[in-house]
Amino acid sequence: MGKFKELRVWEDSMALAEKVYLAIKSSPTFSQDFGLRNQITRAVISVPSNIAEGDERGTNREAVHFFNISKGSTAEVITQLNLAYRLGYLDADALAELENLAEKVRASLKNLIKARGGTSPLKVLGWILITLIRPI
């Protein structure tokens, strides 16, 4: 933990953020749509930011929480990219490139969450038992 810049998924998510910003900048109509532009930039920044925050946390449980937030933000970005395409702000090639990179990040996050113990049924069961048994 604590070496988030060495994580491939962090680097890929930074590349995604950079490419989304460049796509917005290169499309006059996209850059003028304040609502969508603001929403997608906030979501795409959230992806590497939550990876970094999670990796800096003291436990895998805390890290997994932030990695899941990052994965959710990736889904937001994919949704917003598709809306930008439907509105004519992105062409099909730009959408495909950005969506493929976002899907790669999403899949890598899923694997990172597994690696950190985020989807182990035994850990989930243990957490539930501790929560139920712990004195109030």
pLDDT tens-digit map of 101-125: 999 999 999 999 999 987 655 555 5
pLDDT of residue 28: 93
What mean pLDDT comes out for the span 21-35? 95
Whether the predicted pLDDT of 128 surpasses 60: no
Report the distance separating Cα 136 and Cα 67, nearest Å.
Answer: 29
Residue 90, helix vs strand vs coil: coil
Domain boundaries, the chain: 4-133
| CB half-sphere exposure, 43, CA atoms < 13 A | 19
Cα angle for residues 124, 128, 129 (degrees, 5° grid): 115
pLDDT tens-digit map of 50-93: 999 999 998 999 999 999 999 999 999 999 999 999 999 999 99
* Architecture label for domain 4-133: Up-down Bundle (1.20)
pLDDT of residue 7: 95
pLDDT of residue 17: 98
- Band (pLDDT 50/70/90 cuts) for residue 16 is very high
Residue 90 tokens, joined? 């992105």
pLDDT of residue 58: 82
